[in-house]
Amino acid sequence: MIELNYQEYDQHSGTVISVRGSVVDIQFLHKLPPINGELRAGNNAVVIEVMSHLSPDTVRGIALTSTSGLYKGTPVKNTGHPLTVPVGRQLLGRMLNVFGETIDKRDPIDGAEKRSIHQPPVPLNHRTTSSEIFLSGIKAIDVLSPLERGGKSGLFGGAGVGKTVLITEIIHNMVGMHSGVSLFCGIGERCREAEELYREMQSAGVLENTVMVFGQMNEPPGARFRVGHSALTIAEYFRDTERQNVHLLIDNIFRFIQAGSEVSGIMGQIPSRVGYQPTLGTELSEFEERICSTKTGAITSVQAVYVPADDFTDPSAVHTFTHLSSSLTKESK
């Protein structure tokens, strides 16, 4: 056992007692931070989200950043709030990470309001539904398999069938055809795709109406698991506060499920069907139910869904299907 000098830490401080990959156990002598609380360690460089309370004085958290440099005894600060992202019009034209920090090498965002990435879904009596077609600008889709305005659409397909290309095409076609704000959320896909998209949006002149949020495949599971929530929080701001129509494009929602499965695994939960996390349905519903339209504005969402091994009965595909109002499936030949 290492001897720790707790006197040097104030009420909001804890100490690392174990680090295993992204899993960090932290002891708090005074008050435990609540579930989903944000903790910071190592000069604020390591961000940890509380996942469970192990004992009256210990919490287990998942790091959203690399844990290199952490050691037994590292002081940990309880920020006293959940993970937050900045929201506001100044985000337009910017590329952000899961924390809402800019990653486009331009100035950081200053003075923006910060909101928790964990928000309840809109109550039923505030929701609106309509059955209007959302013109994607691609004739084959608009005629044969139209997307719904204010609804959720899925582009299903295995690897390399053209989901990303199709989403990019839809973004291009939205210019001029639709008013409002576009929000692109990249989850667990290739980093170069983020760079390519940013450059394409810039040259197409649509960047000033777009916010991009990325947690790509090189990032730890915690970051890929939460980046969708960060993007949703920004989309909700534009819908509820700015009262605008929002186009939310997600590439790829399967990577959110996959990140949840990784988090569940490293937290030691027993896997369920096909090795997925037992909480797959709950996690996906919590996420998808936040994407909805209200009297003030609509969120129209187009989501790419990777289908593992082209197996459409995979639990990730089956669960995603149930949330969508329209879907396109692409099959590799």
Binding site for ligand ADP (CB under 6 A): 157, 159-165
Angstrom distance (rounded) from CA 162 to CA 252? 12
Tell me how far, at minimum, the Cβ of 157 lies from ligand ADP, in Å: 5
Q: Which is nearer to Mg ion, 164 or 301 (CB)?
A: 164
Tell me how far, at minimum, the Cβ of 304 lies from Mg ion, in Å: 6
Of the listed 190, 193, 195, 286, which one is catalytic? Answer: 190
Angstrom distance (rounded) from CA 185 to CA 319? 20
168 in contact with Mg ion (CB under 5 A): no
**DSSP-based three-state secondary structure for 82:** strand
Angstrom distance (rounded) from CA 66 to CA 62? 10
Of the listed 38, 148, 189, 262, which one is catalytic? Answer: 189
Of the listed 60, 152, 163, 224, which one is catalytic? Answer: 163
Question: Is 163 a catalytic site residue?
Answer: yes
**What, of ligand ADP, Mg ion, none, does residue 165 touch, CB below 5 to 8 Å by kind?**
ligand ADP
Q: DSSP for 303-318?
A: EEEE-GGG-TTSHHHH
Nearest alpha carbon to residue 280 among 327, 325, 317: 317
Number of residues that bind Mg ion (CB under 5 A): 2
Tell me how far, at minimum, the Cβ of 111 lies from Mg ion, in Å: 35
Residue 4, C-beta contacts closer than 8 angstroms, at least 6 positions apart = 15, 73
Angstrom distance (rounded) from CA 82 to CA 98? 13
Q: What are the Cα distances from residue 49, in Å, to 56, 101, 166, 230?
A: 18, 17, 34, 14
Question: Is 199 a catalytic site residue?
Answer: no
Question: Is 289 a catalytic site residue?
Answer: no
Nearest alpha carbon to residue 31 among 83, 84, 77, 70: 77
**Interacting positions 231-250 with Mg ion (CB under 5 A):** none
**Interacting positions 148-167 with Mg ion (CB under 5 A):** 163-164
Tell me how far, at minimum, the Cβ of 320 lies from ligand ADP, in Å: 15
Tell me how far, at minimum, the Cβ of 296 lies from Mg ion, in Å: 32
Q: Which is nearer to ligand ADP, 45 or 165 (CB)?
A: 165
Catalytic residues: 163, 189-190
The residues binding Mg ion (CB under 5 A) are 163-164
